[in-house]
Amino acid sequence: MHKSLKKYFPVFLVPALTALAISFLIPFAMGLYLSFTEFKTVNDSVWVGIENYIRIFTTDKTFLSSLWLTVKFTFVSVITINVIAFSIALLLTRGLKGTNFFRTVFFMPNLIGGIVLGHIWSLIINGVLGYFGVDITYKSEYGFWGLVILMNWQLIGYMMIIYIAGIQNIPDELNEAAAIDGASPAQTLFRITIPMVMPSVTICGFLTLTNSFKLFDQNLALNGKSADTSLLALDIYKTFYDHTGLKLPQWHGTGQAKAVLFFLLVAVIAFIQLRATRQKEIEH
Protein backbone atom coordinates (compact mmCIF):
# COMPACT_ATOMS: atom_id res chain seq x y z
CA MET A 1 0.00 0.00 0.00
CA HIS A 2 2.84 2.34 0.86
CA LYS A 3 4.10 2.52 -2.69
CA SER A 4 0.73 3.29 -4.22
CA LEU A 5 -0.08 5.86 -1.53
CA LYS A 6 3.27 7.62 -1.77
CA LYS A 7 2.50 8.93 -5.27
CA TYR A 8 -0.66 10.55 -3.91
CA PHE A 9 1.28 13.23 -2.00
CA PRO A 10 -0.22 16.08 -4.09
CA VAL A 11 -3.76 14.82 -3.42
CA PHE A 12 -3.52 14.05 0.29
CA LEU A 13 -1.04 16.48 1.79
CA VAL A 14 -0.45 19.39 -0.60
CA PRO A 15 -3.84 21.13 -0.06
CA ALA A 16 -3.47 21.35 3.74
CA LEU A 17 0.21 22.23 3.41
CA THR A 18 -0.55 25.07 0.96
CA ALA A 19 -3.09 26.55 3.37
CA LEU A 20 -0.58 26.26 6.21
CA ALA A 21 2.07 28.00 4.10
CA ILE A 22 -0.20 30.92 3.23
CA SER A 23 -1.62 31.57 6.68
CA PHE A 24 1.33 30.51 8.81
CA LEU A 25 4.70 29.45 7.39
CA ILE A 26 5.34 32.40 5.06
CA PRO A 27 3.85 35.05 7.41
CA PHE A 28 5.91 33.62 10.29
CA ALA A 29 9.19 33.86 8.36
CA MET A 30 8.28 37.36 7.15
CA GLY A 31 7.41 38.38 10.68
CA LEU A 32 10.77 37.24 12.03
CA TYR A 33 12.61 39.19 9.31
CA LEU A 34 10.47 42.33 9.64
CA SER A 35 11.13 42.56 13.38
CA PHE A 36 14.67 43.64 12.44
CA THR A 37 13.50 46.30 10.01
CA GLU A 38 11.68 49.61 9.97
CA PHE A 39 8.62 49.79 7.72
CA LYS A 40 5.27 51.44 7.12
CA THR A 41 4.07 48.97 4.53
CA VAL A 42 5.98 45.75 4.04
CA ASN A 43 7.56 46.87 0.70
CA ASP A 44 9.56 49.76 2.17
CA SER A 45 11.30 47.81 4.93
CA VAL A 46 14.86 48.89 5.83
CA TRP A 47 17.18 46.69 7.93
CA VAL A 48 17.88 48.31 11.33
CA GLY A 49 19.31 45.39 13.29
CA ILE A 50 18.10 45.09 16.87
CA GLU A 51 16.98 48.73 17.11
CA ASN A 52 13.30 47.71 17.45
CA TYR A 53 14.12 45.42 20.35
CA ILE A 54 16.09 48.19 22.08
CA ARG A 55 13.18 50.59 21.58
CA ILE A 56 10.76 48.18 23.32
CA PHE A 57 12.76 48.50 26.53
CA THR A 58 13.67 52.21 26.26
CA THR A 59 11.48 54.73 24.36
CA ASP A 60 8.33 52.62 24.36
CA LYS A 61 7.04 52.28 27.88
CA THR A 62 3.90 50.28 27.20
CA PHE A 63 5.42 46.84 26.59
CA LEU A 64 6.86 46.33 30.06
CA SER A 65 3.82 47.79 31.81
CA SER A 66 1.43 45.58 29.83
CA LEU A 67 3.69 42.57 30.42
CA TRP A 68 3.50 43.20 34.18
CA LEU A 69 -0.27 43.66 33.95
CA THR A 70 -0.57 40.40 31.98
CA VAL A 71 1.49 38.52 34.57
CA LYS A 72 -0.65 39.89 37.45
CA PHE A 73 -3.87 39.17 35.56
CA THR A 74 -2.78 35.63 34.64
CA PHE A 75 -1.71 34.87 38.22
CA VAL A 76 -5.00 36.04 39.76
CA SER A 77 -7.15 34.37 37.08
CA VAL A 78 -5.41 31.00 37.24
CA ILE A 79 -5.87 30.80 41.01
CA THR A 80 -9.46 32.07 41.25
CA ILE A 81 -10.73 30.07 38.26
CA ASN A 82 -9.20 26.79 39.39
CA VAL A 83 -10.20 27.11 43.04
CA ILE A 84 -13.82 27.95 42.19
CA ALA A 85 -14.05 25.38 39.37
CA PHE A 86 -12.69 22.63 41.61
CA SER A 87 -15.08 23.57 44.44
CA ILE A 88 -18.08 23.43 42.12
CA ALA A 89 -16.85 20.11 40.71
CA LEU A 90 -16.76 18.74 44.29
CA LEU A 91 -20.37 19.82 44.82
CA LEU A 92 -21.46 18.25 41.54
CA THR A 93 -19.86 14.84 42.18
CA ARG A 94 -21.89 14.03 45.29
CA GLY A 95 -24.41 12.05 43.27
CA LEU A 96 -27.20 14.59 43.76
CA LYS A 97 -30.20 14.91 41.43
CA GLY A 98 -30.13 17.74 38.90
CA THR A 99 -26.36 17.64 38.45
CA ASN A 100 -26.74 17.74 34.67
CA PHE A 101 -28.79 20.92 34.79
CA PHE A 102 -26.12 22.74 36.80
CA ARG A 103 -23.36 21.43 34.54
CA THR A 104 -25.21 22.81 31.51
CA VAL A 105 -25.63 26.22 33.13
CA PHE A 106 -22.05 26.57 34.32
CA PHE A 107 -20.55 25.55 31.00
CA MET A 108 -22.69 27.82 28.83
CA PRO A 109 -20.67 31.09 29.06
CA ASN A 110 -17.70 29.26 27.54
CA LEU A 111 -19.45 29.13 24.17
CA ILE A 112 -20.10 32.86 23.89
CA GLY A 113 -17.45 34.68 21.90
CA GLY A 114 -14.96 37.08 23.47
CA ILE A 115 -16.31 40.22 21.81
CA VAL A 116 -19.92 39.58 22.86
CA LEU A 117 -18.78 38.55 26.37
CA GLY A 118 -16.76 41.73 26.73
CA HIS A 119 -19.72 43.91 25.82
CA ILE A 120 -22.10 42.06 28.14
CA TRP A 121 -19.77 42.70 31.07
CA SER A 122 -19.03 46.23 29.95
CA LEU A 123 -22.75 46.99 30.24
CA ILE A 124 -23.04 45.36 33.67
CA ILE A 125 -19.88 46.84 35.20
CA ASN A 126 -20.61 50.31 33.82
CA GLY A 127 -24.19 49.93 35.06
CA VAL A 128 -22.99 49.25 38.62
CA LEU A 129 -20.30 51.95 38.53
CA GLY A 130 -22.89 54.33 37.07
CA TYR A 131 -24.54 54.51 40.48
CA PHE A 132 -21.29 56.07 41.75
CA GLY A 133 -21.06 58.42 38.79
CA VAL A 134 -18.00 56.81 37.19
CA ASP A 135 -17.28 54.16 34.55
CA ILE A 136 -14.72 51.43 33.94
CA THR A 137 -12.12 53.80 32.48
CA TYR A 138 -12.07 55.84 35.74
CA LYS A 139 -9.45 53.68 37.47
CA SER A 140 -7.22 50.98 36.02
CA GLU A 141 -8.13 48.72 38.98
CA TYR A 142 -11.73 48.66 37.75
CA GLY A 143 -10.60 47.49 34.32
CA PHE A 144 -8.32 44.88 35.85
CA TRP A 145 -10.90 43.34 38.18
CA GLY A 146 -13.57 43.58 35.49
CA LEU A 147 -11.35 41.43 33.31
CA VAL A 148 -10.75 38.95 36.13
CA ILE A 149 -14.51 38.59 36.76
CA LEU A 150 -15.20 38.14 33.04
CA MET A 151 -12.48 35.52 32.70
CA ASN A 152 -13.83 33.63 35.72
CA TRP A 153 -17.34 33.68 34.28
CA GLN A 154 -16.11 32.33 30.98
CA LEU A 155 -13.67 29.62 32.06
CA ILE A 156 -14.99 28.22 35.37
CA GLY A 157 -17.51 25.95 33.62
CA TYR A 158 -14.91 24.59 31.22
CA MET A 159 -12.41 23.76 33.99
CA MET A 160 -15.22 22.36 36.14
CA ILE A 161 -16.00 19.77 33.44
CA ILE A 162 -12.37 18.60 33.40
CA TYR A 163 -12.24 18.43 37.22
CA ILE A 164 -15.52 16.45 37.32
CA ALA A 165 -14.01 13.89 34.93
CA GLY A 166 -10.91 13.73 37.14
CA ILE A 167 -12.88 13.23 40.37
CA GLN A 168 -15.11 10.56 38.80
CA ASN A 169 -11.99 8.61 37.77
CA ILE A 170 -10.94 8.10 41.39
CA PRO A 171 -11.59 4.42 42.25
CA ASP A 172 -14.45 3.98 44.74
CA GLU A 173 -12.33 1.61 46.84
CA LEU A 174 -10.06 4.47 47.91
CA ASN A 175 -12.94 6.54 49.29
CA GLU A 176 -14.53 3.46 50.90
CA ALA A 177 -11.26 2.49 52.57
CA ALA A 178 -10.87 6.03 53.90
CA ALA A 179 -14.43 5.96 55.26
CA ILE A 180 -13.80 2.61 57.02
CA ASP A 181 -10.61 4.00 58.55
CA GLY A 182 -12.67 6.89 59.92
CA ALA A 183 -11.11 9.66 57.83
CA SER A 184 -12.80 13.06 58.17
CA PRO A 185 -14.13 14.75 55.00
CA ALA A 186 -11.21 17.20 55.13
CA GLN A 187 -8.70 14.34 55.35
CA THR A 188 -10.35 12.56 52.42
CA LEU A 189 -10.19 15.79 50.40
CA PHE A 190 -6.52 16.56 51.05
CA ARG A 191 -5.14 13.01 51.22
CA ILE A 192 -7.17 11.33 48.47
CA THR A 193 -9.19 13.62 46.19
CA ILE A 194 -6.63 16.37 45.57
CA PRO A 195 -3.60 14.07 45.03
CA MET A 196 -5.68 11.88 42.70
CA VAL A 197 -6.82 14.77 40.48
CA MET A 198 -3.34 16.26 40.04
CA PRO A 199 -3.29 15.38 36.29
CA SER A 200 -6.49 17.45 35.87
CA VAL A 201 -4.89 20.27 37.87
CA THR A 202 -1.95 20.31 35.44
CA ILE A 203 -4.28 20.41 32.40
CA CYS A 204 -6.54 23.11 33.84
CA GLY A 205 -3.61 25.11 35.16
CA PHE A 206 -1.99 25.36 31.75
CA LEU A 207 -5.29 25.92 29.92
CA THR A 208 -6.15 28.89 32.12
CA LEU A 209 -2.55 30.10 31.98
CA THR A 210 -2.33 30.22 28.17
CA ASN A 211 -5.89 31.51 27.77
CA SER A 212 -5.26 34.38 30.18
CA PHE A 213 -1.82 35.16 28.80
CA LYS A 214 -3.04 35.39 25.18
CA LEU A 215 -6.34 37.16 25.94
CA PHE A 216 -7.34 39.68 23.28
CA ASP A 217 -11.03 39.89 22.23
CA GLN A 218 -12.40 40.31 25.76
CA ASN A 219 -9.74 42.90 26.55
CA LEU A 220 -10.57 44.89 23.40
CA ALA A 221 -14.33 44.85 24.03
CA LEU A 222 -14.14 45.62 27.77
CA ASN A 223 -11.09 47.92 28.06
CA GLY A 224 -10.54 49.07 24.49
CA LYS A 225 -11.15 52.68 25.45
CA SER A 226 -8.78 52.92 28.42
CA ALA A 227 -5.08 53.24 27.75
CA ASP A 228 -3.66 51.58 30.86
CA THR A 229 -5.46 48.21 30.90
CA SER A 230 -4.04 46.69 27.74
CA LEU A 231 -2.69 43.19 28.12
CA LEU A 232 0.23 42.12 25.89
CA ALA A 233 -1.81 41.01 22.86
CA LEU A 234 -3.80 44.25 22.82
CA ASP A 235 -0.63 46.32 23.31
CA ILE A 236 0.93 44.67 20.22
CA TYR A 237 -2.27 45.33 18.26
CA LYS A 238 -2.23 48.99 19.32
CA THR A 239 1.44 49.38 18.36
CA PHE A 240 0.47 48.29 14.85
CA TYR A 241 -2.86 49.96 14.28
CA ASP A 242 -3.40 52.72 16.83
CA HIS A 243 -1.20 55.68 15.99
CA THR A 244 -2.10 58.03 18.78
CA GLY A 245 0.40 59.52 21.20
CA LEU A 246 3.99 58.37 20.83
CA LYS A 247 3.42 55.45 18.49
CA LEU A 248 4.30 56.37 14.90
CA PRO A 249 3.46 54.50 11.67
CA GLN A 250 7.13 53.57 11.19
CA TRP A 251 6.87 51.69 14.48
CA HIS A 252 5.42 48.68 12.71
CA GLY A 253 8.82 47.04 13.12
CA THR A 254 8.56 47.62 16.86
CA GLY A 255 5.13 46.00 16.91
CA GLN A 256 6.55 43.01 15.07
CA ALA A 257 9.50 42.80 17.51
CA LYS A 258 7.02 42.82 20.42
CA ALA A 259 5.13 40.02 18.69
CA VAL A 260 8.34 37.97 18.45
CA LEU A 261 8.98 38.41 22.19
CA PHE A 262 5.35 37.51 22.88
CA PHE A 263 5.74 34.36 20.78
CA LEU A 264 8.91 33.40 22.69
CA LEU A 265 7.11 33.80 26.05
CA VAL A 266 4.20 31.64 24.88
CA ALA A 267 6.64 29.05 23.48
CA VAL A 268 8.42 28.84 26.85
CA ILE A 269 5.08 28.21 28.61
CA ALA A 270 4.20 25.52 26.05
CA PHE A 271 7.60 23.88 26.51
CA ILE A 272 7.24 23.77 30.31
CA GLN A 273 3.73 22.35 29.85
CA LEU A 274 5.04 19.59 27.58
CA ARG A 275 7.70 18.64 30.13
CA ALA A 276 5.22 18.73 33.01
CA THR A 277 2.73 16.43 31.27
CA ARG A 278 5.48 14.07 30.00
CA GLN A 279 6.90 13.68 33.52
CA LYS A 280 3.45 12.86 34.87
CA GLU A 281 3.06 10.10 32.26
CA ILE A 282 6.36 8.51 33.31
CA GLU A 283 5.41 8.56 36.98
CA HIS A 284 2.14 6.73 36.43
> What length is written for the chain?
284
- According to DSSP, residue 138 is labeled S
Figure out which of the listed residues 54, 214, 226, 242 binds other proteins, where binding follows CB under 8 A: 214
Residue 236 Cα distances to 33, 63, 96, 204, 205, angstroms: 17, 8, 47, 27, 25
Tell whether residue 186 is a contact of other proteins (CB under 8 A): no
Cβ of residue 258: shortest distance to other proteins, in angstroms?
8
* Range list of H helices, the chain: 2-6, 9-12, 14-20, 26-34, 51-57, 62-92, 99-107, 114-130, 140-168, 172-180, 185-188, 194-196, 198-213, 217-223, 232-241, 252-283
Give yes or no for residue 233 binding other proteins (CB under 8 A).
yes
145 binds other proteins per the rule CB under 8 A:
no
Q: What is the dihedral of CA 73, 76, 78, 83, to 10 degrees?
A: -160
For residue 32, how many C-alpha atoms fall within 13 Å in the half-sphere facing its CB? Answer: 6
What is the identity of the amino acid at 206? F
Span interacting with other proteins, options 47-55, 140-148, 176-184, 257-265, rule CB under 8 A = 257-265
Task: Using CB under 8 A, pick the residue from 53, 86, 144, 237 that binds other proteins.
Answer: 237
53 in contact with other proteins (CB under 8 A) = no
Cβ-count burial of 174 within 10 angstroms (0-12 exposed, 13-18 middle, 19+ buried)? middle
Binding mask 33-52 for other proteins (x = CB under 8 A): -x------xx----------
Smallest distance from other proteins to CB 278, Å: 14
Mind spelling out the 3-state secondary structure of 150-204? HHHHHHHHHHHHHHHHHHHCCCHHHHHHHHHCCCCHHHHHHHHHHHHCHHHHHHH
Site for other proteins in 58-87 (CB under 8 A): none
| CA distance readout (Å), 110 to 84, 107, 118, 119, 139 | 15, 6, 13, 15, 28
Shortest Cβ 216–other proteins spacing (Å): 7
For other proteins, the binding residue among 175, 201, 224, 226 (CB under 8 A) is: 224
267 is a contact residue toward other proteins (CB under 8 A) = yes
Q: Alpha-carbon distance 253 to 36, whole Å? A: 7
The sign of the dihedral angle between the CA atoms of 120, 114, 209, 136 is: negative
Of residues 107-126, those binding other proteins (CB under 8 A): 107-116, 119-124
Stretch that binds other proteins, among 46-54, 132-140, 174-182, 235-243 (CB under 8 A): 235-243
Q: Does 207 bind other proteins (CB under 8 A)?
A: yes
Count the residues of the shown chain that bind other proteins, applying the rule CB under 8 A: 86
Question: Residue 129, interface with other proteins (CB under 8 A)?
Answer: no
The answer to the question of residue 284 lying near other proteins (CB under 8 A) is no
Only one of the segments 58-66, 72-80, 187-195, 262-270 lies at the binding site for other proteins (rule: CB under 8 A); that segment is: 262-270
Q: Which residues pair with residue 47 across a beta bridge?
A: 37
Stretch that binds other proteins, among 75-83, 136-144, 167-175, 263-271 (CB under 8 A): 263-271
> Does 147 interact with other proteins (rule: CB under 8 A)?
no
Q: Which is closer to other proteins, CB of 88 or CB of 144?
A: 88
- Using CB under 8 A, pick the residue from 106, 142, 144, 251 that binds other proteins: 106
